[in-house]
Amino acid sequence: MIHVRIVTPPDRTEAVLSVLTASPAVVNVIHLPGAARKPDGDVVQCDVAREDASLIVGELRALGIARDGSIALDPIDTSISAASERAERAAAGLPSDAVVWERVESVVGESTELSWSFLAFMVIATLLASIAILLDSPVLLVGGMVVGPEFGPIAAIAVALVQRRGGLARRSLIALVVGFVVAIVAAYVGTELLDAFGIITDGHTNAVRPFTGFISKPDALSFLVAYLAGTAGILSLTTSKSAALIGVLISVTTIPAAANMAVAAAESAWTECGEAAAQLGLNLVALLLAGVVTLALQRAAFSARGRRRAAAERAAPQ
């Protein structure tokens, strides 16, 4: 279930209540006249089945509530209520498969900011991966992959493309490109400093790397793994299965490929640097393609549900 808090102008309160009470997927409707300040208005609260949350929000948007008031959504972890159970049964589909599009937009919107914390995580992750390559340590490599925040902007670009939001796409692309450039430069400088201070030796730079050498060897399986991971990542964001996202982060070699570019450049191994760049590009394309395809299918299913709901309302006796 999703808890919805609405601040509505008094002249639209009845219309809001009509939308909520007409839906069998909505329960626990509460009306607090004149309770809101800044903006002034009435407060209406309710619980709605997750499957119909975006449909209800869409009807509230059509009333201008998002413009002249506010709509807040909060997931309900536990609800002990027979009425809530009936509301969930009345909504088509399963709660675990439902997509609350407003929540998805909010989550990915946070990933578009080119903040110091985003850059710091990108740099730290790439430095960890660089050291992992020098030591040929798969454990440390996984650590760098988990720390990397690059999937957020990739998911945001996919959302922006499906919803045709140019501003979101530009912000996300800038964050992604700048983040990788800064991280690669930092890893290159870090590798050079380790070399200058004698912390790494020829044994590190010229060693055969049986455990991490795959990073600079892009192939069809690399694309397939990235595509499957991208699909799982988008599903984890849209269905609130965040635990699956960790598996996504350790399946894709975006951060390791960026680190390998930096290490190879510091070693003047330009062929390996180019292969690592190809691996990075391959992974990014596969992740983005998977995200767009998955979101497009989910959006099509959501639109179909909306059309069926509208048709049912038109067919219902007045």
pLDDT digits (tens, 9 = 90+) for 177-189: 999 999 999 999 9
Do 93 and 182 share a domain, yes or no?
Answer: no
pLDDT tens for 198-236 read 887 665 556 667 767 788 888 898 899 999 989 988 888
In-domain check, residue 314: no
pLDDT averaged over every residue in the chain: 87
Cα–Cα distance for residue pair 139/173, rounded to 1 Å: 30
In-domain check, residue 88: yes
Do 116 and 233 share a domain, yes or no?
Answer: yes
Per-residue pLDDT, 166 = 87
Phi and psi angles of residue 80, each rounded to the nearest 5 degrees, phi first: -105, 90
Phi and psi angles of residue 36, each rounded to the nearest 5 degrees, phi first: -95, 145
Pick the more confident residue, 41 or 310: 41
**Cβ neighbours of residue 57 closer than 8 Å, sequence gap 6 or more:** 4, 71, 73, 102
Per-residue pLDDT, 203 = 55
pLDDT tens for 276-286 read 999 999 999 99
Do 165 and 277 share a domain, yes or no?
Answer: yes
Q: Which of 59-63, 261-265, 299-303 has the lowest mean pLDDT?
A: 299-303
Do 117 and 210 share a domain, yes or no?
Answer: yes
By three-state DSSP, how is residue 306 classified? helix
pLDDT tens for 55-104 read 899 999 999 999 999 999 998 888 889 999 999 888 876 666 678 888 88
Contact indicator for 28, 84 with CB cutoff of 8 Å: yes
Q: Which of 4-8, 86-90, 174-178 has the lowest mean pLDDT?
A: 86-90
Query: With bands split at pLDDT 50, 70 and 90, how would you rate the model's confidence at 299?
Result: confident
Do 292 and 253 share a domain, yes or no?
Answer: yes
Per-residue pLDDT, 276 = 93
Where is the domain boundary, 98, 133, 159? 98
End-to-end C-alpha distance for the chain, whole angstroms = 29
In-domain check, residue 317: no
Query: With bands split at pLDDT 50, 70 and 90, how would you rate the model's confidence at 51?
Result: confident
How many domains is the chain partitioned into structurally?
2
Per-residue pLDDT, 317 = 60
Where is the domain boundary, 68, 98, 128? 98
Domain extent at residue 206: 105-303
Per-residue pLDDT, 176 = 94
Do 128 and 19 share a domain, yes or no?
Answer: no
In-domain check, residue 94: yes
Residue 196 scores a pLDDT above 90: no
Per-residue pLDDT, 21 = 94
Do 221 and 176 share a domain, yes or no?
Answer: yes
The domain that contains 22 carries what CATH number?
Answer: 3.30.70.260
- The fraction of the chain above a pLDDT of 70, given in percent, is 89
Per-residue pLDDT, 206 = 60
pLDDT tens for 97-146 read 678 888 888 878 777 778 899 999 999 999 999 999 988 888 888 888 88
Do 167 and 205 share a domain, yes or no?
Answer: yes
Residue 293 scores a pLDDT above 90: yes
Cα–Cα distance for residue pair 274/269, rounded to 1 Å: 9
Q: What is the mean pLDDT of residues 29-36?
A: 96
In-domain check, residue 208: yes
Where is the domain boundary, 60, 77, 98? 98
Tell me the two tokens of residue 292.
């767009």
Do 126 and 171 share a domain, yes or no?
Answer: yes
In-domain check, residue 312: no
**Is the full-model pTM beyond 0.85?**
no
In-domain check, residue 259: yes
Do 133 and 259 share a domain, yes or no?
Answer: yes
Per-residue pLDDT, 187 = 96
Per-residue pLDDT, 20 = 95
CA angle (136, 281, 266) in 5-degree steps: 45
Place of tokens 């959501």: 302
